Amino acid sequence: MSTAEVVLVTGGGSGIGGGLASAFHARGHQVIVVGHRRERVEAVAARHPGMCWQVADVADAEEVAALAEEVGCRWPGLTTVINNAGVQHLFDFAASGPLDAAELGREIDVNLKGVIHVANAMLPLLKTQPRSRLVNVGSGLGYVPLAAAPVYSATKAGVHSFTLALRRQLRDSPVQVVELIPPVVATDLHRHLEETPPMAMDLDAFVKAALAGLDAGRDEVVVGLAKVLRTLSRAAPSLGMKIVNQ
């Protein structure tokens, strides 16, 4: 990629998205952080002079289409989209009675449909550049699911499959389709838990490793313990399930 990038980061108001946005900004790139909570993306941009922000809910296809139109007008040189927005809840299907259908649907709408909406809306812009990239953020849980977070795990498996198919379709285009696959990272994605998950990777360390993989031009950037889960999913899936869910 060129030294002068225009980078859009969904879910940029906190966590991995905020960390990546800050790192790209530190490199001198034009960064646009996107989130559905104005106060969060506005605060991130305020801490980084020159960073811009936009409000959009990736689960809403019309809002994403409007975002793409705005980006195309204001930042026609868009080169990188970090498709990162995500939510995670714990759902126990063994409990008595049905779970909240709206909460189940929201997680699917953000984590999977949102990735698809953003790709659909932003790819026409990315295709106009000599070189560009779409980075879909998956998860090690897309390889081996966490039983306590079954919907999240399923959506990340879906992101993995979608990314593989998209890469195949766009192999003759100027757009590189990348999957960035984190392990558990110490962010507020896990704010519903009483404590940070064991062996969670430090956010700064994750961002450093992620950028190294992106700089190397890899199609899959698998970071930290996610590499172990990828191997176990292929070589010893039962062992992987045991380790993740113990």
Residue 197 lies in a domain: yes
pLDDT above 70: residue 2: no
How many C-beta atoms surround the C-beta of residue 37 within 10 A? 12
Residue 163 lies in a domain: yes
Give the count of domains, the chain. 1
d(CA 157, CA 179): 12
Residue 19 lies in a domain: yes
Residue 245 pLDDT: 94
pTM above 0.75, yes or no: yes
pLDDT above 50: residue 150: yes
Residue 1 lies in a domain: no
Residue 165 lies in a domain: yes
Residue 115 lies in a domain: yes
Q: Among residues 152, 178, 185, 244, which one is catalytic?
A: 152
> What CATH number does the domain containing 44 carry?
3.40.50.720
For residue 116, the enclosing domain spans 6-245
Stretch 36-61: mean pLDDT: 97
For residue 127, give the nearest of 65, 52, 56, 76 by alpha carbon: 76
pLDDT digit string (tens) for 190-239? 445 555 666 789 999 999 999 999 999 999 999 999 999 999 999 999 99
Residue 38 lies in a domain: yes
Residue 111 lies in a domain: yes
pLDDT above 80: residue 88: yes
Which tokens hold the place of 14? 């906190």
Assess whether 152 carries a catalytic annotation: yes
